Amino acid sequence: MVFSELRLFAAIAILTVPLAVGCGGTRSDQIPVTGKVSFGGQPVEQGTITFMPVSGVGQTTGAEIVAGSYSTTVSPGEQAVQITANKTVVKENPTEEEVQRGLTESTEQYLPAKFNRQSELRVTVSADATTHDFDLQP
């Protein structure tokens, strides 16, 4: 019984490893991209930025935004961009249990949907265009 289980595991591994390796292609075509992100003239202190190939060719990549800056690698071509920004807020009326457990703060995404879920932000990434800043307005 052990031998047949090993054969089944080997067969699954042989079939799935090429699929996993083939998903998204290699990262050798990625281009280093950096930039700054602000909202209403102020740097986004904490958040994320995601680049998604409009053509469907290439990889979706992303990075953390820290103190208004990000750095990542991106597939060349036109990219749809989604940006989120988080801020820490103090709960107005935490329960006694929340206070005891130190759960008096939460993180809240504060950018409008037009910059993330409903984003129409686009950039074109190439070897000549590696800096992309986003000055988001309310």
The confidence band for 15, taking pLDDT boundaries of 50, 70 and 90, is: very low
The domain ranges of the chain are 29-136
pLDDT at residue 9 in the model: 40
> What's the half-sphere exposure (Cβ side, CA atoms, 13 Å) at 95?
3
pTM higher than 0.75 for the full model?
Answer: no
DSSP state of 37: E
Q: Token pair of 72, please?
A: 């990542």
Element (H, E) at 125: strand 121-125
- The neighbour count for residue 49, using CB atoms within 10 Å, is 27
The confidence band for 28, taking pLDDT boundaries of 50, 70 and 90, is: low
The per-residue pLDDT for range 54-68, each reduced to its tens digit, is 999 999 999 999 999
According to CATH, the superfamily of the domain at 29-136 is Immunoglobulins (2.60.40.10)
